[in-house]
Chain A
């Protein structure tokens, strides 16, 4: 029997919300919420890179830190802080964002991005990437484009997009594929997959994700503009 969703279409995303400039101390910050998953990202720097041997004399370095808060799961305490999983996700986030970011103006420095998950219901690394790319734009760094991310996959043999936890842990065969994309060019900057699926299923799932990413892009752009517009800018001349 094919898997069906009750709350939304198979190609539908969970309700999204994005807000920019949520952490005043940071140079740039953003919140991205998709369904019950809530990610906050804060950008600090550019600051001098320590240890010195890690400095790049040609451009600044991006460093991402991913963390799930202790109370973010569904009851059991998540042990926060660095562990194998968060190190890996920090690294893939970094690789997902680096292709759009231009840090040539800041050699020998590091830009730190801290991603905190307040509440999790699957798709955390994708929500983290969405929040982080907004925060970097908010901080005023030069970027070719924003980066959007969403998960897609196969649940019970059916291709779906934006899996929640119940789908990710679906008993009868579930494959989860987080994808990050530069929406303007369609370049994929992150794609992870473990599980078994056919080539056709993969293609269908990725196409669903591509459409979902365009919707996320609109939400992100609106959020960024909302921070700066806010009725403050008048369009008359000086």
Chain B
């Protein structure tokens, strides 16, 4: 019979022993060596039945298929756009994935998306050597006009979204801003006036800072109520 060597929700560092025995299985952020399950990342332990997992507390964004991301167009070529999605290598958006509009032969592609434009796109494919394809075809995918972009750490995105979008929904309701959260940690905020945008930005910064405390929803709610009154 195996046994756990750490408590759930404790902080572990690479090399820490998590569990002993073959009946515990390593999931993300952990690996097995002989009969031990060992952490490979700085993170918080999560135990789900027999699965032992380490939820990272830091790390770079790695694109996955079907992620909705906010990207910045960095280059336009004959038949595709190159888009920075926050990974080391640029993603490619081909002509046919760029728009549903009809594009005439020899049309100027930068009329659709020019260098520096921000777009909401979906990662349609990622190869093993990290060639990233993105697409603009799908509900809600579009070029972003107006508003502002905030960059947060990508691994904290789930906390910003909250369960079934509860956290971001709360900020939207309180500030009246439109908010789009990309899986790559870029967040687009657009409000009727700068004060609303500022409040939403501050709330998001608060979530990022306190991402791993429990009862975060209450903290953010309190923050929003207090500062909304102040305006």
Interface residues of chain A, those whose CB is within 8 Å of chain B, are 27-28, 45-48, 57-58, 100, 102, 105-109, 137-146, 183-184, 220-221, 224-225, 228-229, 232-238
Contact = CB atoms under 8 A, between A and B. Distances in A.
Interface stretch (B6-14, B103-111, B140-148, B186-194): B6-14
Give the contact-size bracket for chain B: 20 to 34
A70 to B, nearest CB: 32
A143 B89 CA distance: 22
Given A107-B130, A228-B42, A233 B11 contact: yes
Given A142-B29, A238-B214, A228 B15 contact: no
A195 B41 CA distance: 39
A228 B11 contact: yes
Contacts of A27: 58, 60
Interface of A (DSSP majority class): loop
B60 A140 contact: yes
Nearest to B9: A235
B89 A142 contact: no
A140 B154 CA distance: 12
A183 B4 CA distance: 21
B13 A225 contact: yes
B40 A106 contact: no
B14 A143 contact: yes
A233 B42 contact: no
B60 to A, nearest CB: 6
B96 interface: no
Which of B15, B44, B58, B212 has the most A CB atoms < 10 Å from its CB?
B15
B88 interface: yes
Contacts of A220: 13
Interface in B19-49: 29, 31, 38, 40-42, 44
B130 A140 contact: no
Nearest to A231: B213
Given A48-B89, A109-B89, A183-B15, A228 B57 contact: yes
B212 A232 contact: yes
Nearest to B56: A140
B88 A46 contact: yes
Given A46-B88, A138-B58, A225-B13, A143 B41 contact: yes
A107 B214 contact: no
Nearest to A235: B9
8 contacts: A27-B60, A46-B88, A102-B40, A107-B130, A108-B89, A140-B42, A145-B38, A235-B9
A47 B88 contact: yes
Given A184-B38, A228-B42, A233-B212, 6 more contacts: A57-B129, A106-B62, A108-B88, A142-B29, A143-B15, A235-B10
A105 B49 CA distance: 27
B14 A233 contact: no
